[in-house]
């Protein structure tokens, strides 16, 4: 097995993809809107990926957040709100906000389980800061660390009720980035003391099984490398200070915050301490080069992967989608 997550080109696998994926044995896959048409098609695609891997617990990731980040869209699937609305409800009714967030995540999880997706790239534990880039914006759970942690716990619990694993992101925190990492590399100049509030939600939920890094330079910790590529940030901050010992993904290596050959970057993030590199865009030449450049997955990373996927149920249907949405909406009406 190679320590990489790959994307695929379209709504069904090509013959070349089938042959390549079988030989390459990536750790898992990630889906985008280009891979999504309807329930039957999407279930067939995820079943194909599981068949190739020979594993029911295969990580099949998707960014199904709600709001402006949603790969599965109406009219086939419900439209889910951006997470900022739960932050607003928390102002007036914290317990209602937590329950509404749990219901929302449970409902999202049911839509994923139905089509065989096993991992959602949620929750964002980025503490929103005034004046920062709106790349996070209303995707955030709030600007107060304890609130972010409480709502984040509810999101993870809701997904788990549907048999879906969550990934907390973007560790050690994306809330201070002044530019969008899809477009450029942010540099955060805050002191180590100031950054304590950024890492607090991740520390509170450090027993979560999966996390995803931020492509951000934190000058207080490592002025030369972004977190994704920094052994200092990964070992001293993420592993030791935050206390996260789960499966660590890089964020997408194709984002413009990173420069250079993508296959080489994949090797660099694994060497820096990420368990798995994320290569999303299904370029066959790039994927072949990545597999050639990467070592086999480390034993510690394999064990983290196995632990993270324990209890995942691709066919789970625990809960009623419409009842959960109705309960969420009733709670949000009081915001």
Closest-CA residue to 194 (of 215, 176, 217): 176
C-alpha–C-alpha distance, residues 180 and 133, integer Å: 6
- Is 167:119 a contact under the CB 8 Å cutoff? yes
Is the backbone peptide bond immediately before 170 cis, with ω within 30 degrees of 0? yes
Closest-CA residue to 182 (of 137, 226, 135, 130): 135
Residue 310 has a CB neighbour count (10 Å cut-off) of 9
Residue 169: strand pairing partners:
124, 212
For the chain, the C-alpha Rg in angstroms (whole number) is 19
What are the two backbone dihedrals, phi and then psi, of residue 104, each rounded to the nearest 5 degrees? -65, -45
C-alpha–C-alpha distance, residues 101 and 86, integer Å: 6
The count of residues in the chain is 335
- Is 192:205 a contact under the CB 8 Å cutoff? no
Angle at 247 between CA 48 and CA 123, to 5 degrees: 85
CB contact set of 19 (below 8 Å; sequence gap of 6+) = none
Active site residue 182: yes
**One of 126, 251, 252, 275 is an active-site residue; which one?**
251
Question: CA separation (Å) from 136 to 123, 129, 132, 201?
Answer: 12, 10, 8, 16
**One of 157, 182, 254, 261 is an active-site residue; which one?**
182
Point out the residues that are catalytic. 182, 251
């Amino acid at each position: 097995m190679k320590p990489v997550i790959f994307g695929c080109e379209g709504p069904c696998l090509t013959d070349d993809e089938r042959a390549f994926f079988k030989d390459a044995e990536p750790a898992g896959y990630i889906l985008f809107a280009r891979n999504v048409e309807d329930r039957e098609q999407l279930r067939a695609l995820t079943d194909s990926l599981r068949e190739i891997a020979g594993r029911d617990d295969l990580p099949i990731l998707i960014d199904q957040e709600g709001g402006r980040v949603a790969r599965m869209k109406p009219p086939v699937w419900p439209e889910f709100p951006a997470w900022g609305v739960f932050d607003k409800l928390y102002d007036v009714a914290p317990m209602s906000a937590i329950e509404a967030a749990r219901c929302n995540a449970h409902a999202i999880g049911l839509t994923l389980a139905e089509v065989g997706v096993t991992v959602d790239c949620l929750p964002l534990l980025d503490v929103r800061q005034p004046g920062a880039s709106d790349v996070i914006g209303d995707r955030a759970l709030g600007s107060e660390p304890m609130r972010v942690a409480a709502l984040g716990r509810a999101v993870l619990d809701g997904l788990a009720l549907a048999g879906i694993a969550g990934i907390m992101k973007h560790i050690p925190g994306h809330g201070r980035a002044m530019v969008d990492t899809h477009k450029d590399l942010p540099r955060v100049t805050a002191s180590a003391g100031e950054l304590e509030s950024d890492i607090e939600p991740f520390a509170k939920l450090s027993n979560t099984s999966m996390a995803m890094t931020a492509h951000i330079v934190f000058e207080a910790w490592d002025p030369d490398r972004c977190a994704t590529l920094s052994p200092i940030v990964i070992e001293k901050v993420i592993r030791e200070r935050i206390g996260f010992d789960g499966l660590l993904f890089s964020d997408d290596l194709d984002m413009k915050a990173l420069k250079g050959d993508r296959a080489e970057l994949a090797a660099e993030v694994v060497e820096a301490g990420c368990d798995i590199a994320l290569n999303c865009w299904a370029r066959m030449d790039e994927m072949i080069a990545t597999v050639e450049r990467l070592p086999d997955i480390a034993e510690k990373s394999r064990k983290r992967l196995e632990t993270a996927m324990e209890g995942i149920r691709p066919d789970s249907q625990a809960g009623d989608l419409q009842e959960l949405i109705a309960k969420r909406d009733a709670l949000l009406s009081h915001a």
